[in-house]
A and B are shown apart, each in its own frame.
Chain A
Amino acid sequence: MEAPFLLWVYLSTQPLLWLTLTVAIWVLADWLAERSGRNPLVNPVMIAIVVIAAVLLATNTPYGTYFDGAQFVYFLLGPATVAIAIPLFKNWPTVRRKALPMLAAMFAGTTVAIVSAVGIAALFGVPKDVLISLAPKSVTAAVAMSISDHLGGIPALTAVLVAITGVLGSVIVTPLMNAMGLRDYAARGFAVGVAAHGIGAARAFAVDPVAGTFAGIAMGLNAILSSLLVPVFVRLMF
């Protein structure tokens, strides 16, 4: 009884255990998604987050301890973002042709993302600091947290709302676009990038490389525009 307990006490504080759990659960979640034929409802990001969160809660493991292991995976997000340069370079002629549609869709989509989220939550009587935390929910996490912080929101809450939005957008986009009868993968990818940042881009890349490229561009554009627009809307609304 004692030996396994001591082993757990040791391993549960080591990065190896939580890194292994993150990678292993992901492999399992991605296998399930693959087997479902990339059914949008079987979203591997959502499955992995829910399973790992449940394990941490069940074992009373603090998030900080988990992150000591998971940070090695998290770190790759930077280089992976730079890597989107390759599909962008490859698909440049298509991207260039869509400059005007992208610009227009970016302004419309970013505005709707901010105003609708804050407006709806305000109707429910949500307090101001939570509303501010919600405003940049469609922005990629690092920028969203900094916007929230500057305006008096709660950056940690923003990070979670950003992640939930990303998963929601990734799950909804395929059935929604199919229902609307839209087959233009550039448009679909761009929309999921504006609404659901990098997690949306991950879904878009799983469906189609052109969709993924446009989602990556949308994510970058939304980050820039939201940094300028969120403070303006927050000042107008309060």
Chain B
Amino acid sequence: MLRALAILLVCQLVGETITRGLMLPLPGPVLGLVLLVMLLFLVERRHLVASATIDETSLGKLSNGLIAILGILFVPAGVGVIQQLGPLAQYGVALATALLVSTVLTLVVTVWVFVLVSRLVERKG
């Protein structure tokens, strides 16, 4: 359990150090995620870990446990809404319309392009 936590924290720390050091437009934990995937592929080559059994390792269990509680981790930042009630009320209608319409458009366009290009790729393959 602690070994698994150490792996996640080290990846995050290295990711944070590299992104800050090189001023990359990327959150440290996201680079940490990429580093951990690369690490897993390296270890897989030596047959120390396999994608079929990763869930049963302590790293797999801790990671899946964290992902299962992903929702609560956004609550503390979201509660920050109480600090911005002024601007939110002042431009309420404009911001609500912009957020709602933009979110629907983004979902629709993204999913359509994804499905369309998937079909094109599969037809060629």
Contacts and interface: CB of A to CB of B under 8 A. Distances in A.
Contacts of A108: 109-110, 113
Given A77-B74, A105-B117, A126 B94 contact: yes
Given A81-B32, A89-B37, A73 B75 contact: yes
11 contacts: A53-B81, A81-B32, A98-B114, A120-B102, A124-B97, A156-B84, A177-B107, A180-B111, A182-B111, A199-B74, A205-B70
Contacts, number: 315
Contact of A190 (B54, B68, B93, B110): B110
A159 to B, nearest CB: 6
Interface string B41-70: 100000000010011000110111011111
Interface residue range, chain A: 35 or more
B63 A85 contact: yes
Interface string A37-60: 000000011001100110011000
A89 B51 contact: yes
Interface extent on B, as a size class?
A: 35 or more
Contacts of A118: 98
**Chain A binding surface SS class:** helix
Contacts of A26: 71-72, 75
A106 B82 CA distance: 32
A210 interface: no
A115 B54 CA distance: 41
Nearest to B84: A160
A161 interface: yes
A57 B83 CA distance: 10
A138 interface: yes
B66 A79 contact: yes
The 4 A-B residue pairs whose C-beta atoms are closest, nearest first, are: A227-B25, A109-B110, A124-B94, A83-B63
Interface in B65-124: 66-84, 87-88, 91, 93-95, 97-111, 113-115, 117-118, 121
